Homo-oligomer: A and B are copies of this chain.
């Protein structure tokens, strides 16, 4: 990829518990923030069920489109953890017992005085050619195949694994962000904001209405990799809101 471009990424959340409404996902927000913080553009996220066909086809579609793909979920020891075998199928390689993963899991079992049973050994399975992703929380590693990073679903473990991946991710120019908070409904701001957006296409302007104390307000989020331009445009937006009587406040 061009060094001046930002690499692209996709997150695939594998989990019936998210789709059934039982669990509120928090992994996407963590990955989105952290990728943004490295200059990697998260273009898309998908939430899919624990179904082989869905996992294989989604992984294959996304790994061909995006520079990086991160999956969360489905790498534990139970029968519904099928991500590793699906990744092997997606890459058309065998699933094997990874010797380094087996050592890590055996060490962990010994330290914790628990049995190294068949279920726990399943967590040592990885596609042929995978490299491991460390798990300093609970031991059983994730893995990487080419541009696909296979992470746990438990948020604390997922975050630890992602931290361990960072060294292998190439970032791009950071997108900087400033927020002008206006005590005005969007309907008042929309026209002058559009004029500013037309004037400064180098700054992406997002408008997000909110309720507070029974009144509408709007967060105007300005994003650009050009810090000088961003400052200038932020001042213009601030002044625009002030002229409309919207008592602007700046958030970084």
Tell me if A165 counts as interface (CB < 8 A to partner B).
Answer: no
A138 touches B21 (CB 8 A): no
Contacts A43-B49, A46-B45, A205-B80 given; indicate if A191 touches B24 (C-beta within 8 A): no
- Please tell me the number of chain A residues within 8 Å of chain B, measured between CB atoms: 68
What B residues does A19 contact at CB under 8 A?
32, 42-45
What B residues does A187 contact at CB under 8 A?
77, 114, 117, 119-120
Q: A184-215: contact bitstring with B at CB < 8 Å (1 yes, 0 no)?
A: 01111111011001000000111111110000
Tell me if A28 counts as interface (CB < 8 A to partner B).
Answer: yes
Tell me if A79 counts as interface (CB < 8 A to partner B).
Answer: yes
Contacts A187-B114, A207-B80, A216-B138 given; indicate if A21 touches B36 (C-beta within 8 A): yes
A122 touches B190 (CB 8 A): yes
Which secondary structure dominates where chain A touches chain B?
mixed
Tell me if A60 counts as interface (CB < 8 A to partner B).
Answer: no
Tell me if A48 counts as interface (CB < 8 A to partner B).
Answer: yes
A32 touches B46 (CB 8 A): no
Would you give the shortest CB distance from A111 to chain B, in whole angstroms?
Answer: 14
A177 touches B44 (CB 8 A): no
A29 touches B20 (CB 8 A): no
Measured CA separation A204–B51 after assembly (Å)? 12
Seen from chain A, the residues whose Cβ lies within 8 Å of a Cβ on chain B are: 16-26, 28-36, 42-50, 54, 76-81, 114, 117-120, 122, 138, 154, 156, 175, 177, 185-191, 193-194, 197, 204-211, 216, 221, 223
- Since A80-B207, A119-B188 are in contact, a sample of 4 more A-B pairs with Cβ atoms closer than 8 Å, ordered by chain A residue number, is A20-B42, A22-B221, A76-B190, A117-B191
30 A-B pairs with C-beta separation under 8 A? A16-B204, A17-B221, A18-B45, A19-B42, A19-B45, A20-B32, A20-B223, A21-B36, A22-B221, A23-B208, A25-B28, A44-B46, A44-B49, A46-B46, A78-B189, A79-B190, A79-B194, A79-B205, A79-B207, A80-B197, A114-B185, A114-B188, A117-B187, A118-B191, A119-B190, A119-B191, A122-B190, A154-B209, A154-B210, A156-B211
